């Protein structure tokens, strides 16, 4: 068959004539397979309507299994039945048309108006639904036909498929499908237009079925069970039911059975046809399998998440992909991904064998089942041969130019790596393969932020690129190092997290001294040629052995400082000055910045690639901030930035591994006097003030704040006072927890956690709130039976004075659970809502494109913006939202230090 181009798609109804025309076989027997195991002629699985058995040929097109697409058959229904999908529309049409002449009961003028309106809407390719709705509403109103003067009777619709006419005396008469069909047949073509239907393409009477199309067997294949028994598809089962009842109906009618029995059978036939289309009709018991499982009929196949549309057509599945759990490896590059050998042996790249790679490929095949091997070869004639234990040597010999070889992926191959939800383009980036032992994908923790990944069981997907074009495109656009700067906010999204920050913070704070062996030990994984000038010398005793006499000698040995070690991974020409995370914002408080003399080492100066002062923290190398990474990326581009981040990983991890770093429950300890102080100075003080406020309120001395009631004022002041209490206790706790404390160190350097977290653990958890207010819900006048009604004190409304370390009292624990639940609900609601908003936004924007003339246009070329973002700046390419950072250019030109 020749490939054809689709010119258009037309939706309409099938007429009985059409159904018969496209039918390859009239089905009359409900049986499927005969005694001999072959399909029965004129049966539901007959050989005219498709083949599912290997070796048989289709009697309509002659195709074998897989070649023949299947052909429709048909069942002649002995009595017409309503098509359940159109039951409601049929009701509307019945109500809108004359019972005698079947004209739409509308005045000539209205008719014309509506017809024109429909025509106009169609020309505009707009929805005619609203107009049609009006037609039905207007036409159903009239009680007498203006064409044949026949009085109109109201029609009652009894779900799912029964129509009842109520005559003048209120007597009810059921309209059988034959009556319905007759009425619909009489509607003239000109009137059909009023329903928004195209009479050539969808006549109303076609909604009442006289012939039922039978889908090809290929659409409802039977499966053979292990026992050799055949199990038919649900649709086939349903069709069997229909044919049986159809036959019984015919027999009974021909035998002249009483009207009552005929009607019952008719009803039954209607039921089976209904459930054949849709087995989830409200008010209709679903047709069930023998086991009691409801049958999956046509509607169920199409509907819903796993239906044909969302599940099969929109839902794509791909080959050459793998998925497993991710785990960290700071020793691999940021643009690498560790791939388990097991996976590497399953994923392949097709290589064309040429003169130049013939020997290499031959060698690869010769490796057999070992890793960088080959799974399949394809000969010049197109035959695909699996490489097995027994044939690999022969195949290697036979291999020739023009063959295709499906080789395992190996180190250096480019692949795409992805973590769902893929919310931004950085959720899929190109990595280079590094085959490793183990069963997880390995990922450098510095690349976690763009994927939003962690290692608590996250799984990620890997896709192997199959064409040279795809590999080139991925390399140019999707490499990790090309995406260090986020297009969202124009700053690095890849950078140090957690231990990377802690490690470098420890290394670069103060004046730590390391002798040569130590330095080499820390740096051994990093490619550095020269240790450079040492920072100084210190005296070290050395034991010498001279002719058997041991004596001690004092030698001067050189040392390097931590800052010098860090400088070794900086590019040589880098100049930079900035304030780190430790900065206490002296300037904002009106004091002078001490710059190089900053007692907190917050002022970082890098000159000619040397860290002269300041400590490296989150603002220097962290993801989302990373001023040094940002600067290196802009000055030296992606390769240097990548190497820098790689080196940061290795240096930081190596150092922290050697010094050791831990945080335990005892690190939250505060000495006794500190606890006392917190209780006395912060908590008691605040509680006293709260009591005073309450007394003032009760004594009528409290003055309301503008725009608030007295009560609101009281609550507000109490909240303020109690928030103060927590902050104060935090400040006191800080006095007892120095930077030596690993918790404080992590919070201050930005590695993990905040001072608030530490305060809550060590000093005081503070006020719990629901919707920004103190906890008020519970019983009448009180939160819990532990308190007196009307108690307004701090602890009766959710103030937790304990710390997490000390433990919470039962009432505190309960209040904390209340507040915690709100936080939980909030995040759950927020993620789902923002996810949906994002989806809608992306759907709306996905076809917009920035053209070469700088305009933003949609698919038809209609301009959306005359200049992209009004200034044509890509935030990831420009300098902080501008095309160039002119101040920086000038500073560089006159040799001043960059960025104060």
Partner 1 sequence: MKKGRFSILEHELVPKHEIPEGREVAELLDKYKLQKEQLPKIKKSDPVIKEIKAKVGDVVRITRRSRTAGKSLSYRLVIE
Residue 226 vs 853, nearer CB to partner 1: 853
441-443/321-328 β-pairing: parallel
Residue 527 vs 849, nearer CB to partner 1: 849
Q: What's the closest the beta carbon of residue 880 comes to partner 1, in angstroms? A: 12
Q: Does the footprint of partner 1 cover residue 530 (CB under 8 A)?
A: no
Count Cα atoms within 13 angstroms, Cβ side, for 605: 11
Q: Does the footprint of partner 1 cover residue 863 (CB under 8 A)?
A: yes
Q: Does the footprint of partner 1 cover residue 828 (CB under 8 A)?
A: no
Please tell me the count of residues contacting partner 1 according to CB under 8 A. Answer: 16
Residue selected from 316, 870, 893, 894 as contacting partner 1 according to rule CB under 8 A? 870
Q: Does the footprint of partner 1 cover residue 411 (CB under 8 A)?
A: no
Cα separation, 797 vs 216, in Å, equals: 70
Residue selected from 55, 599, 861, 895 as contacting partner 1 according to rule CB under 8 A? 861
Please name every residue paired with 578 in a beta bridge, in sequence order, or none if there are none. 604
Region from 297-305, 690-698, 704-712, 861-869 binding partner 1, contact rule CB under 8 A = 861-869
Residue 545 vs 853, nearer CB to partner 1: 853
The radius of gyration of the chain from alpha carbons, rounded to an integer in Å, stands at: 40
Contacts (Cβ under 8 Å, ≥6 apart) of 250: 78
Q: Does the footprint of partner 1 cover residue 124 (CB under 8 A)?
A: no
Helices 516-523, 627-659: inter-axial angle, 10-degree rounding: 120
Q: Does the footprint of partner 1 cover residue 864 (CB under 8 A)?
A: yes
Q: Does the footprint of partner 1 cover residue 844 (CB under 8 A)?
A: no
| Structural tokens at position 174 | 């059921």
Q: What's the closest the beta carbon of residue 742 comes to partner 1, in angstroms? A: 43
Q: Are 142 and 136 in contact (CB under 8 A)?
A: no
> Could you tell me the strand order of the sheet in which 162-166 lies?
155-158, 162-166, 172-175
Q: Does the footprint of partner 1 cover residue 867 (CB under 8 A)?
A: yes
Cα separation, 612 vs 102, in Å, equals: 95
Region from 46-54, 363-371, 554-562, 864-872 binding partner 1, contact rule CB under 8 A = 864-872
Q: Does the footprint of partner 1 cover residue 108 (CB under 8 A)?
A: no
Residue selected from 121, 865, 876, 898 as contacting partner 1 according to rule CB under 8 A? 865
Around Cβ 56, how many Cβ atoms within 10 Å?
14
Identify the CA nearest to 86 among candidates 18, 25, 160. Answer: 160
Q: Does the footprint of partner 1 cover residue 871 (CB under 8 A)?
A: yes
Region from 416-424, 484-492, 825-833, 851-859 binding partner 1, contact rule CB under 8 A = 851-859
Please name every residue paired with 879 in a beta bridge, in sequence order, or none if there are none. 882
Q: Does the footprint of partner 1 cover residue 873 (CB under 8 A)?
A: yes
Residue 66 vs 869, nearer CB to partner 1: 869
| Three-state DSSP class for residue 393 | helix
Residue selected from 881, 886, 887, 889 as contacting partner 1 according to rule CB under 8 A? 881
Q: What's the closest the beta carbon of residue 488 comes to partner 1, in angstroms? A: 15
| Structural tokens at position 738 | 């120095």
Residue 800 vs 873, nearer CB to partner 1: 873
Residue 126 vs 704, nearer CB to partner 1: 126
Cα separation, 163 vs 92, in Å, equals: 11
Q: Does the footprint of partner 1 cover residue 172 (CB under 8 A)?
A: no
Q: What's the closest the beta carbon of residue 859 comes to partner 1, in angstroms? A: 11
Q: Are 34 and 40 in contact (CB under 8 A)?
A: yes
Q: Are 384 and 376 in contact (CB under 8 A)?
A: yes
Phi/psi for 618 (5° steps) reads: -60, -40
Please name every residue paired with 610 in a beta bridge, in sequence order, or none if there are none. 607
Q: What's the closest the beta carbon of residue 881 comes to partner 1, in angstroms? A: 7
Q: Are 86 and 181 in contact (CB under 8 A)?
A: no
Only one residue has tokens 């005969």, namely 34
| Three-state DSSP class for residue 729 | helix
Region from 298-306, 421-429, 588-596, 867-875 binding partner 1, contact rule CB under 8 A = 867-875
Region from 464-472, 505-513, 781-789, 859-867 binding partner 1, contact rule CB under 8 A = 859-867
| Cis peptide bond N-terminal to 160, omega within 30 | yes
Cα separation, 344 vs 407, in Å, equals: 10
Residue 529 vs 870, nearer CB to partner 1: 870
Region from 120-128, 263-271, 346-354, 862-870 binding partner 1, contact rule CB under 8 A = 862-870
Region from 415-423, 655-663, 869-877, 890-898 binding partner 1, contact rule CB under 8 A = 869-877
Residue 862 vs 894, nearer CB to partner 1: 862
Cα separation, 780 vs 769, in Å, equals: 19
Strand locations in 5-161 (E): 73-82, 155-158
Q: Does the footprint of partner 1 cover residue 869 (CB under 8 A)?
A: yes
Region from 152-160, 176-184, 819-827, 853-861 binding partner 1, contact rule CB under 8 A = 853-861
Rule CB under 8 A: which residues touch partner 1? 853, 855, 857, 860-867, 869-871, 873, 881
């Amino acid at each position: 068959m020749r490939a054809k181009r689709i010119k258009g798609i037309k939706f309409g109804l099938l007429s009985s004539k059409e159904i018969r025309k496209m039918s390859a076989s009239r089905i009359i027997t409900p049986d499927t397979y005969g005694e001999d195991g072959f399909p029965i002629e004129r049966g539901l699985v007959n050989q005219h309507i498709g083949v599912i058995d290997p070796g048989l040929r289709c009697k309509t097109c002659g195709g074998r299994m897989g070649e023949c697409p299947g052909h429709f058959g048909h069942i002649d229904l002995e009595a017409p039945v309503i098509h359940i999908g159109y039951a409601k529309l049929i009701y509307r049409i019945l109500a809108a048309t004359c019972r005698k002449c079947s004209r739409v009961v509308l005045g000539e003028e209205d008719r014309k108006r509506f017809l024109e309106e429909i025509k106009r809407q169609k020309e505009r390719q707009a929805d005619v639904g609203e107009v049609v709705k009006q037609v039905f509403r207007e036409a159903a109103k009239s009680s007498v036909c203006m064409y044949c003067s026949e009085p109109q009777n109201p029609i009652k619709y009894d779900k799912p498929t029964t129509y009842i006419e109520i005559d003048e005396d209120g007597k009810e008469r059921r309209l059988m499908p034959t009556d319905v069909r007759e009425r619909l047949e009489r509607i003239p073509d000109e009137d059909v237009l009023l329903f928004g239907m195209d009479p050539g393409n969808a006549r109303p009477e076609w909604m009442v079925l006289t012939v039922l199309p039978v889908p090809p067997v290929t659409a409802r294949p039977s499966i053979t069970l292990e026992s050799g028994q055949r199990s038919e598809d649900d649709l086939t089962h349903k069709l069997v039911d229909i044919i049986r009842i159809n036959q019984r109906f015919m027999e009974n009618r021909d035998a002249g059975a009483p009207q009552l029995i005929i009607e019952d059978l008719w009803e039954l036939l209607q039921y089976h046809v209904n459930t054949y289309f849709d087995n989830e009709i409200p008010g209709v018991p679903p047709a069930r399998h023998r086991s009691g499982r409801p049958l999956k009929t046509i509607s169920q196949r199409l509907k819903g998440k796993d239906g044909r549309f969302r599940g099969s057509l929109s839902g794509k599945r791909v080959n050459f992909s793998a998925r497993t759990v991710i785990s960290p490896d700071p020793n691999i590059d940021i643009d690498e991904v560790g791939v388990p050998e097991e996976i590497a042996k399953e994923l392949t790249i097709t290589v064309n064998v040429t003169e130049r790679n013939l020997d290499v490929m031959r060698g690869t095949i010769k490796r057999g089942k070992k890793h960088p091997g080959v799974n399949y070869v394809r000969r010049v004639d197109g035959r695909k041969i699996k490489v097995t234990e027994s044939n690999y040597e022969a195949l290697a010999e036979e291999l020739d130019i023009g063959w295709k070889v499906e080789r395992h992926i190996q180190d250096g191959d480019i692949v795409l790596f992805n973590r769902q939800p893929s919310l931004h383009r950085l959720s899929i980036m190109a990595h280079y393969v590094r085959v490793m032992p183990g069963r997880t994908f390995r990922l450098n923790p510095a690349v976690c932020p763009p994927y939003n990944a962690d290692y608590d069981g996250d799984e990620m997907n890997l896709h192997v690129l199959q064409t040279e074009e795809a590999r080139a495109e991925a390399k140019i656009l999707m490499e990790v190092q090309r995406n260090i700067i986020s297009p969202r906010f124009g700053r690095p999204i890849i950078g140090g997290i957690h231990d990377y920050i802690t490690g470098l913070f420890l290394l670069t704070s103060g004046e730590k001294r390391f002798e040569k062996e130590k330095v080499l030990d820390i740096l051994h994984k990093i490619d550095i040629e020269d240790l450079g000038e040492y920072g100084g010398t210190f005296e070290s005793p050395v034991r010498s052995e001279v002719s058997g006499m041991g004596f001690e000698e004092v030698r001067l040995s050189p040392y390097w400082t931590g800052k010098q070690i860090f400088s070794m991974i900086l590019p040589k020409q880098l100049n930079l000055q900035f304030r780190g995370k430790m900065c206490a914002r002296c300037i904002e408080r009106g004091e002078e910045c001490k710059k190089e003399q900053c007692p907190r080492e917050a002022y970082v100066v890098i000159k000619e690639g040397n860290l002269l002062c300041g400590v490296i923290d989150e603002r220097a190398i962290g993801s989302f901030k990373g001023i040094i990474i940002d600067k290196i990326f802009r000055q030296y581009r992606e390769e240097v930035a990548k190497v820098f981040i790689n080196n940061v990983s290795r240096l930081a991890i190596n150092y922290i591994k050697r010094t050791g770093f831990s945080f335990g429950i005892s690190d939250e300890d505060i000495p006794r006097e500190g606890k006392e102080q917190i209780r006395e100075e912060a908590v008691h003080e605040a509680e006293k003030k709260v009591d005073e406020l309450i007394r003032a309120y009760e004594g009528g001395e409290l003055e309301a704040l503008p725009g608030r009631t007295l009560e609101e004022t009281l609550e507000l002041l109490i909240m303020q006072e109690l928030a103060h209490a927590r902050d104060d206790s935090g400040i006191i706790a800080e006095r007892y927890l120095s930077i030596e404390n690993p918790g404080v160190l992590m919070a201050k350097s930005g590695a993990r956690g905040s001072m608030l977290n530490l305060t809550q653990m060590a000093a005081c958890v503070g006020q719990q709130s629901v919707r920004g207010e103190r906890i008020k819900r519970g019983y009448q006048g009180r939160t819990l039976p532990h308190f007196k009604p009307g108690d307004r004190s701090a602890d009766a409304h959710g103030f937790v004075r304990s710390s997490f370390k000390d433990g919470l009292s039962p009432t505190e624990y309960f209040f904390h659970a209340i507040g915690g639940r709100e936080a939980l609900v909030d995040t759950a609601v927020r993620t789902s809502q923002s996810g949906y908003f994002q989806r809608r936004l992306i759907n709306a924007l996905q076809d917009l494109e920035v053209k070469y003339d700088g305009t933003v246009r949609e698919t038809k070329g209609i301009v959306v913006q005359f200049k992209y973002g009004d200034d044509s700046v890509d935030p990831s390419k420009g300098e902080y939202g501008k095309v160039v950072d002119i101040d920086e250019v000038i500073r560089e030109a006159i040799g001043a230090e960059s960025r104060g």
